[in-house]
Amino acid sequence: MTKFVALLRGINVGGHKKIKMADLKEVAGKCGLSDVQHYVPSGNLVFSGKGTPDAVAGKLEKACERTFGFPVDIMVLSEDEFRQEVAACPFADGSRPKGELDPKFLQLAFLKGTPDSAHIEALFEGYEGPEVVQLAGRTLHIYFTEGSGRSKLTPLLTDKKLGVPATARNWNTVQKLLAMLDD
Give me the phi and psi of 43, to 5 degrees please: 95, 60
Rounded (10°) angle between helices 53-68 and 21-30: 120
Is the predicted pLDDT of residue 149 greater than 70, yes or no?
Answer: yes
Who wins on pLDDT, 13 or 50? 50
pTM of the entire predicted model: 0.91
According to DSSP, residue 116 is labeled P
Residue 167: half-sphere exposure toward Cβ, Cα within 13 Å: 20
Task: Give me the CATH topology for the region 2-78.
Answer: Alpha-Beta Plaits (3.30.70)
Query: pLDDT tens digits, residue range 92-142?
Result: 766 665 566 788 889 999 999 888 888 888 888 877 888 888 888 899 999
Q: Which of 1-5, 34-38, 129-133, 135-139 has the lowest mean pLDDT?
A: 129-133
| Residue spans in the chain of domains classed CATH 3.30.70.1280 | 2-78
Report CA-CA distances (Å) from 51 to 69, 76, 89.
25, 11, 27
Instruction: Report d(CA 138, CA 113) in Å as an integer.
Output: 7
Structure confidence at residue 96 (pLDDT): 60
Contact 76, 4 (CB under 8 A): yes
**Yes or no: is domain 84-182 CATH 3.30.70?**
yes
Contact 167, 10 (CB under 8 A): yes
Instruction: Report d(CA 12, CA 31) in Å as an integer.
Output: 22
Q: Go through the chain and tell me how many residues it has.
A: 183
